[in-house]
Chain A
Amino acid sequence: MVLIVGGRSQGKLDFARSLFPGIKESEIGDGRTDSLPVLQSSKVLTHYEALVRRRLSEGQDSAVWTDEYLKVCPEAVIISDEIGSGIIPLEPFEEEWRESTGRLLCALAQRSESFYRVICGMGQRLK
């Protein structure tokens, strides 16, 4: 699995395309909008942070889902916005989302074969 993180609108998906020129649009799942079965079979999962949020709003943790996804799709490319560099949210849900997204991404970074952070369209390889 390859993990790509970065702030909003930094060109993370384009960077993924440049790393893997063979990616087809139909292989890209969007964590904001696609259903879980669609995501489960997507080679590229973008907006992982939004998926975590959606599931959290249904009372579900995403660790188990992510494990299962990686079993089905061990070569996945997971893309996530970084959401942790702000003031501690006052709303408990917002704080839980921020916290759990961070911990999940730490675990994914540790498991990844390679880990990139994209700034200004440039992918910095951290692992």
Chain B
Amino acid sequence: MKVLVTGGAASGKSEYAEKVLLSLAGSGEKLYIACMRNDSEAAKKRIARHRALREGKGFVTIEKDTGLGDLTERVRGTSLLIEGAGMLLSNEMFSPNPAGAPENFSPAAGGQGLSVKTAVERTVSGISTLLQAADQAVLVTDEIFSDGRDYDELTMAYIRALGEVNRRLAALCDRRVEVVYSYPVEIF
């Protein structure tokens, strides 16, 4: 079973995603792939919150901020929680020197990171490979599409790119759920 969990900021989606994975997981290994970078105070706070949430639930944490496909063999046969697609895409798009990036990558607008198209492909292929290799998996992603605001060109490109990533990965999952202030809403 593969489940996509989406939701807005502070919607309770991480906690819900853990609950779903724990209900699916058997006695096998439970892996948590943490894609968030530890590069700001806000990120550190979030990471600490997520760590506290996971504590005592038996997860092995792997930090991997780009190139998820590298972990394919590692995740085979496990129960997998990936947190999350939004962070991963942002890392793939905005890293000055993405780990494992092809040598001939063309920088996105702003002169940093991969081209948007390459970043989308790396995000989708990395995650989908892991979803296929794991026995069961829950993928967390972000709803960033409804604040009605316009941003600079690169941010708008990121919004469109995450829309594409979400659509493509949702199509590979058996269940899709939006979490609204801690309550799940099935997306059919």
Q: Is B163 an interface residue (CB 8 A)?
A: no
> Among B146, B155, B158, which residue has the most Cβ atoms of chain A within 10 A?
B146
Residues of chain A at interface, number, CB under 8 A: 29
Cα A3 to Cα B144 with chains together (Å): 23
Interchain CB contact (< 8 A) of B181 among A86, A87, A106:
A106
Give the residues in chain A near B147, CB-CB below 8 Å: 83, 85-87
Docked complex Cα distance between A69 and B161 (Å): 43
B interface residue count range (under 10 / 10 to 19 / 20 to 34 / 35 or more): 20 to 34
A102: Cβ under 8 A from any B Cβ: yes
Residue-wise interface mask of A (31-65) relative to B, using a CB-CB cutoff of 8 A (1 in contact, 0 not): 00000000000000000000000000000000000
**Quick check: A102 and B181 within 8 Å, CB to CB?**
yes
Q: Are A127 and B155 in contact (CB under 8 A)?
A: no
Number of A-B residue pairs, CB cutoff 8 Å, is: 75
> CB within 8 A of B11: which of A87, A102, A108?
A102
Closest to B9 in A: A84
Query: Is the C-beta of B42 less than 8 angstroms from some C-beta in chain A?
Result: yes
Residues of B31-75 whose CB lies within 8 A of A: 42
Interface of chain B, main secondary structure: loop
Q: Are A109 and B159 in contact (CB under 8 A)?
A: no
| Contact B159 A126, beta carbon cutoff 8 Å | no
Question: Does the CB pair A117–B180 fall under 8 Å?
Answer: yes
Quick one: given A84-B9, A87-B151, A87-B159, are A127 and B183 in contact (CB under 8 Å)?
yes
One of B7, B146, B151, B182 near A110 (C-beta < 8 A)? B182
A98 vs B7: C-alpha distance in the bound complex, in angstroms?
13
Central interface residue in A3, A85, A127, by most chain B CB within 10 Å: A85
Which residues 82-127 of A sit at the B interface, judged by CB distance below 8 A? 82-88, 92, 95, 98-103, 105-106, 108-110, 115, 117, 124, 126-127
Top 3 A-B pairs ranked by shortest CB distance? A102-B10, A86-B147, A84-B8
